[in-house]
Structure 1
Amino acid sequence: MRDLHQTDSVTASRSDARAQGGATSDWMPYLPASTSPFIPKGVDPTELVWAETVAPGGYTHRVLARGTRFRLDDPTGDACANVLVFNALEPWERLNVADTQKIPWQAYLGQGSPLLSGDGRVLASIVEDTSGQHDAFCGTSTDAWNDEKYGDAAPEGPSPSGRSLFAKAAAKHGLSKRDLPPSVSFFQGVHVEPDGTLTPTGSAGPDRHVTLVAELPLLVLVANVAHPLDPRPGYTVGPLRVHAWRGSATAATDPRATATPELHRAHLNSIDYAEARGL
């Protein structure tokens, strides 16, 4: 390493650091977002506000404006996007997985599904889904789980847990572990059997994506880690691509908002909150 980097003086260190300025990685944010080599078809590059490839075992986070579309892509079929969303204005309002399942009568996430807060508001809606293999039952992996299964759970190690990565992402926004509720995950499915057993159904294959719309200003945390029920003995997870672009929140008359009485009320709650704040 010493032969590669000359850092024996301030001047040499500065030169060495500047020499790394053009370096790239397979796992990185693209700045500006319009320079992403993986821009989704039909998306105007100038409208992009976030573009990133998240490493296997990596994490990311972003604050997004109301109406922003954000798309998760699984290019290999092995990504597992564990996601938490918070009201960015008042982050004590956050994803409530139990309400997300029971209020809209949805055990399984898919196109049209809302992600609800405990205050009865839609934080985000799934507007496009080519995977259908998701999980709102298990949450993400813990340190104890990964220590037992893989022998390590450190966030900088070979098999980080989702909770440890969420904690790192949350800390960058002034939140702590106690602020982290159960999460949902995309691209690795789970099915509930008649006897209550949870059966992993795996991936729908490569080149699948899910697109959500932010119904309120959102803080989004993403941990790309192996699903806790993945039956494979090794820590298996592929890269995850994230893109976000400007758009509009769901209107009160949109078919997505009026599909059921429960959805209509939840969307009206979100719209009322946003309009009162001039959003």
Structure 2
Amino acid sequence: MNAPDISSDRLRWEHTVPAGTHWSGLIRRGMALRIVDIEGGANASLLFFNPEDKLERYNMPDTLKAQHTAFLTRGHCLYSDMGRIFCSITADTVGWHDPLCGVSDAALAAEKYGLAPYGAKRNEMIRNGRDSLLVELGKYGLGKRDLGPTVNLFSKVTADEADGALHFHAGHSPAGGTVDLRFEMNTLVALSTAPHPLDPNPDYAPRPVRLIAWHADAPAADDTCRNFRPENGRGFENTERYNAC
């Protein structure tokens, strides 16, 4: 699905997250966030928390089993571990996003790319996804025990039917590929643009992403995400009851 146009009166802010860096912020209920793969081949790893009670966070198993899927695209919702919906994927020009593989760590990055610390490379240092997310989580009193499965936007991973081996699809996301997330409750978002852990490229080659935030329309009764699965309808109801309190 093509990304809809954003009217200037609804646009609130834009920000570019450079390649191999990280970002975090509070996205309010009723806002939408478009994430753009500027150059193609990006990976954006995201975590989600309830800012009012940070023990509530994104739950990968519930998100997948409730929607009978092993990948994410338009129509899917991202669930918390309280059965509520952080956000819904309302538009997607890429078509497949990985929720299974998590992020790279320092050991994996060193094995794949060698060592390039800040003291030697400055802003060209090699950053891994785990440490990048920990930097952002630390700003909100969160730490290692709060790390969990991420949503890896723009990355496609499939499994062999015979033995379940996972395969990374290089070049899956084109330049200008977009994903729109509509937030159904106040959400703390942490994001890393480090390469996907299964990316076979032997060179460290992260890509930047663009964030565009705007005021979204409230989900209607016939909303695609609300009606994608019966479980989503119940998730919306749980979320609306929470917001009403």
Q: Normalized against structure 1, the TM-score is what?
A: 0.80
Counterpart for residue 268 of structure 1:
237
Q: What are the equivalent positions in structure 2 for 1:113-124 lying under 5 Å apart? A: 113-124=76-87
Of 153, 159, 165, 1:197 maps to 165
8 Å contact from structure 1 (residues 94, 117) kept in 2:
yes
Residue-by-residue CA offset, 1:98-150 (whole Å, 9 max, x unaligned): 11111211111000111111111111110000012311110111122112212
Change (3 A) 1:176 1:248: farther
Gaps of 5+ in 2: none
Change (3 A) 1:272 1:96: same
Aligned counterparts of 1:116 and 1:154: Cα–Cα separation in 2: 36
Letter in 1 for 2:136: A
Moved more, 223-232 or 250-259: 250-259
8 Å contact from structure 2 (residues 76, 228) kept in 1:
no
Aligned counterparts of 2:11 and 2:137: Cα–Cα separation in 1: 23
Letter in 2 for 1:68: M
Residue-by-residue CA offset, 1:38-63 (whole Å, 9 max, x unaligned): xx873233433331111110111110
Q: Normalized against structure 2, the TM-score is what?
A: 0.90
Paired residues, number: 237
Change (3 A) 1:154 1:86: farther
1:161 aligns with 2:128: yes
Of 185, 199, 211, 1:230 maps to 199
Change (3 A) 1:164 1:219: same
Change (3 A) 1:114 1:187: same
Q: What are the equivalent positions in structure 2 for 1:142-161 lying under 5 Å apart? A: 142-152=105-115, 158-161=125-128
Counterpart for residue 26 of structure 2:
63
Change (3 A) 1:272 1:41: closer
8 Å contact from structure 1 (residues 226, 235) kept in 2:
yes
1:107 aligns with 2:70: yes
Aligned counterparts of 2:117 and 2:61: Cα–Cα separation in 1: 28
1:206 aligns with 2:175: yes
Counterpart for residue 177 of structure 1:
144
Moved more, 219-228 or 155-164: 155-164
Greater relative contact order structure (CA < 8 Å, 6+ sep): 2
Identity of aligned residues (%): 36
Q: What are the equivalent positions in structure 2 for 1:236-255 lying under 5 Å apart? A: 236-251=205-220, 254-255=223-224
CA deviation after TM superposition for structure 1 residue 214, in Å: 0.7
CA deviation after TM superposition for structure 1 residue 253, in Å: 5.0
Q: What are the equivalent positions in structure 2 for 1:23-34 lying under 5 Å apart? A: none
Residue-by-residue CA offset, 1:12-34 (whole Å, 9 max, x unaligned): xxxxxxxxxxxxxxxxxxxxxxx
8 Å contact from structure 1 (residues 146, 153) kept in 2:
no
Letter in 2 for 1:120: G
3-state DSSP class of the match of 1:126?
strand
3-state DSSP class of the match of 1:168?
helix
Change (3 A) 1:58 1:41: same
Gaps of 5+ in 1: 1-39
Letter in 2 for 1:201: H
Structure with bigger gyration radius: 1
Alignment RMSD (CA, Å) = 1.9
8 Å contact from structure 1 (residues 144, 153) kept in 2:
no
